[in-house]
Structure 1
Amino acid sequence: MAIANSVGLHTMLGQTLIYLAPAFSVVAGSFFYMLKNQADWYAERWQIKRARKTIEKSLKYPHTSEEHKRRIREMLEEIDASVAVSELDRIKLLGNK
């Protein structure tokens, strides 16, 4: 709208810009929303990989007891299950759009 005002509302270009502004706003908003969702997904995946790497490092530590290793394996299974549920929910959301 500011561009249309600077061009002049009485000109054909100014009038066209006024009419296109709402559509451009919706398209730009949708694009940034999708970009934010994708960035959030990548950040989530990065955190999962980091957590998994830390847990697996603890699992390989030679002084870790068998009982503790069992609990670590349970944590890994819990992470895997959580990731699977999250991915399934994400796919379901994509199907509903």
Structure 2
Amino acid sequence: MSKWEPVTFQESLSFVKKVKARDYMLYISLLDVLNRNDQIPLQAYSELSLLFQHHEDLLAELSKFRPLPCPNNVYTHGSIWMIIFLMPFLLLSLVLALRSH
């Protein structure tokens, strides 16, 4: 297994733009999954994997965002989930929304 490396802001932005350009409803579904605070990162990742199952290139790129397996107690606190996984995507969606207006 290769060493995990953090994803850069530019990589995240590129991925979100690619999804939005490909299929706007897919983009909305991506945001919907990421806006659910009750999921742990691995659940969200699994749901996104299903969402992108017919988009091989997006599915491959999504693998860069796969959360590290950690003990369950790490992900039980909502603020940790927001910081680790959700916030970068939400910030990207805001940037894209502001650019489109």
Structure that is richer in helix per residue:
1
Which TM-score applies when normalising by structure 1?
0.34
